Amino acid sequence: EFREVVVVPLFPYGRNLYPDSSCELDLSLAKILRAGKLWRIAIFVYMMFQGKSLPYIVEIIRALKRWGISGAKTAGFWSLAAASTEYWLQRAMDANLPTIFYTYWNTASTYGLAKGAKSTPAWSVVTRVHGFDLYEERSDPPYLPFRPSVYHQLKRIFTVSSYGCDYLVKRGIPRSKIRVARLGVDTPGFVVAPSSDGKLRIVSCSGLVPVKRVLLLAASVCEFARRRSLTQVVWTHL
């Protein structure tokens, strides 16, 4: 949909699987975030002298009062990453170039982008939310920094489920800001050919954590195999 797409990974590990895609690859933010904690602290101090660290300091104090040292550490870690992202934004992007910043998870860098783009009319920030970056009760302590302020600074929020949309609405986020955008595409443009050897192949993909209920999937595959005893089932979980 866009004339120019730039991919800015936070963790550039492994090889680029699609080097000939039409996307430009920018590793400059990843280099800042990987430079070490002392460098991120130096950036934070620099942002402080610019008068842009107050929201981060307020968040750390707020977390300390409510969640103690554990909460303050979480807020501090997020603040360093967010400030580094805001620092990168000031230096890497043209304020006169209309740009949509899209983050795949609503983490510290999302807040840094939203905060840094707030005073630039040509920039908009949108994010996608999944699970760990949405449901505060899944964290220990049950706290995610910069909530709900980050949501009010975003142009649009994409949830992977209707449940996630309702979760945000119950927390005072305007429904007009939210779109349900499930993972995958309606029309991928191709149909996978069936196996030529008669085996039924099932492929699933998720982390092996309780919330993903992979054991339920395993039980379902076993039950299907029991009912269709003449069919050989090959299950691959990524």
- For the chain, give the percent of residues with pLDDT over 70: 100
pLDDT at 18: 78
185 in Cβ contact with 208 (< 8 Å): no
For residues 133 and 106, what is the distance between their CA atoms, to the nearest angstrom? 6
Strands 156-159 and 200-204: unpaired
Candidates 147, 183, 195; CA nearest to 168 is 147
At residue 53, the 3 state secondary structure works out as coil
Q: Is 188's pLDDT higher than 90? A: no
Mean pLDDT of 5-25: 86
Nearest Cα neighbor of 114 from 66, 165, 150, 62 is 150
Residue 126 predicted with pLDDT over 90? yes
Give the pLDDT confidence of 169-185 residue by residue, as tens digits.
999 999 999 999 999 88
pLDDT digits (tens, 9 = 90+) for 53-72: 999 999 999 999 999 999 99
Give the mean model confidence (pLDDT) for residues 100-106: 97
Q: What is the mean pLDDT of residues 125-131?
A: 97
pLDDT at 19 over 90: no
pLDDT exceeds 90 at position 86? yes
Give the confidence band of 15 by pLDDT, cuts at 50, 70, 90.
Answer: confident
pLDDT score at 205: 93
- Backbone φ and ψ for 156, nearest 5 degrees, come out as -155, 150
